[in-house]
Structure 1
């Protein structure tokens, strides 16, 4: 339908700005004056500038100046630090700071608490003793004082355990 009315169009749809043709002559003359004035811009190039420009750039780029490279890790410093680290590691592995306890330095209370708290039975204790330690002669010759027995009874046995019902 739109194509049927194309031959009957009376307006083109384009408009000319107001006073366009009155001011057109002034615009063209001002452009001509500007072009005349801009022919002499005030900047001058040296003679044969563009002929020698390529060679000058290549000369500046191609000259390689050697720069001194300072390494971050020198071999001597690296060996020195690794030697210190190895010494400290060896010092801790040799257990110089560790005091090993001896049997004489243990208290009887410490051993008794360990046996009570760790649920060590009589078979485990017997496995630690040799046949010579379990001979009857070792138990016959052992003398226990009355005072020691009293102190043990008072410290370890409750009165309720002693009273018979």
Structure 2
């Protein structure tokens, strides 16, 4: 509420239930009658209980075992699991598989050949990888083949059925 409207409050804000004062006298007399008839509350402290409570507690403490049960926060099994997980993570991060950098010099010729054969690359796609300087440096025309080498290559790599003319 705003401060300047406090003097305009007409209701106190508290309400009584309907018919509260109609049965008020009857409820009050019932409570008084109940307190007169019931002398005990139902809860009773034994006589001398509070006088001997300190001795009773000290007897309980001294009769218990002097070596209490110790529950360790870190047992060996959980420590072993945590250490093995940390070791595996350290080995994985330091493994040479993650640290190796692949360069053109580190590739095997067989790997490149297998890639070209298995990927079904066209000659134009392969030629686009070479520059004119690279192609000029390769002297294919002046290379001479041995007859034996040529024959073994043809026998091993060519299918004779494709060469037969019908």
- Please tell me the TM-score bracket, short chain as reference: 0.3 to 0.5
Higher gyration radius (CA)? 1
Query: What TM-score results when the alignment is normalised by the length of structure 1?
Result: 0.44
Query: What TM-score results when the alignment is normalised by the length of structure 2?
Result: 0.44
